[in-house]
Amino acid sequence: MIKPASRIALVVVIALGFGHVTPPLRSQQTNLPPPSEQYPFASGTIERLDLGSKRLNIKTPKGARSFDVTIRTYIFRGKEKIALDKLKIGESIKLSYYTNELGQALVKRIKVDQPEPMTNSARQPEAPK
């Protein structure tokens, strides 16, 4: 027979053992992919830009895609942060996005591709006069 003091000590040890469980890893907690894979990328040229509904359609090598821009979307041209209304039809862009529970593709970041500056050696020589 176990003494009452021993029985209480045993219960306390078991209770502390259950309370000291290591927390699950982030991927086990949320079933999310690692952060590096969390935001897929898309690139293409802007075909349609609807400022009212904040919707962006781009033509990608795999076909046309639609994305929604939110108040948390960052848009860059070079190092300059710009507003949605500064984007132009036909511009080449790269963007990262995520899909919400309703299946909408929401843009996290847009980067406008800028043409490489031409160096003097790459410029066309002037025609002789």
pLDDT tens across 62-103, in order?
999 999 999 999 999 999 999 999 999 999 999 999 999 999
Dihedral (C-alpha) 56, 62, 63, 69: value to the nearest 10 degrees?
-10
Higher pLDDT pick, 113 / 21: 113
Q: How does residue 51 score in pLDDT terms, banded at 50, 70 and 90?
A: very high
Q: Distance (Å, rounded) from C-alpha 30 to C-alpha 25?
A: 9
pLDDT, position 115: 73
In the numeric block, which tokens belong to residue 106? 């929401």
pLDDT at 125 over 90: no
Q: Domain spans of the chain?
A: 37-112
- Which is the CATH superfamily of the domain at 37-112? Copper binding periplasmic protein CusF (2.40.50.320)
Residue 43, pLDDT score: 95
Q: How far apart are CA 59 and CA 66, in angstroms?
A: 9
pLDDT of residue 27: 46
The beta strand positions in 2-119, using DSSP E, are 41-50, 55-60, 63-77, 80-81, 92-99, 105-112
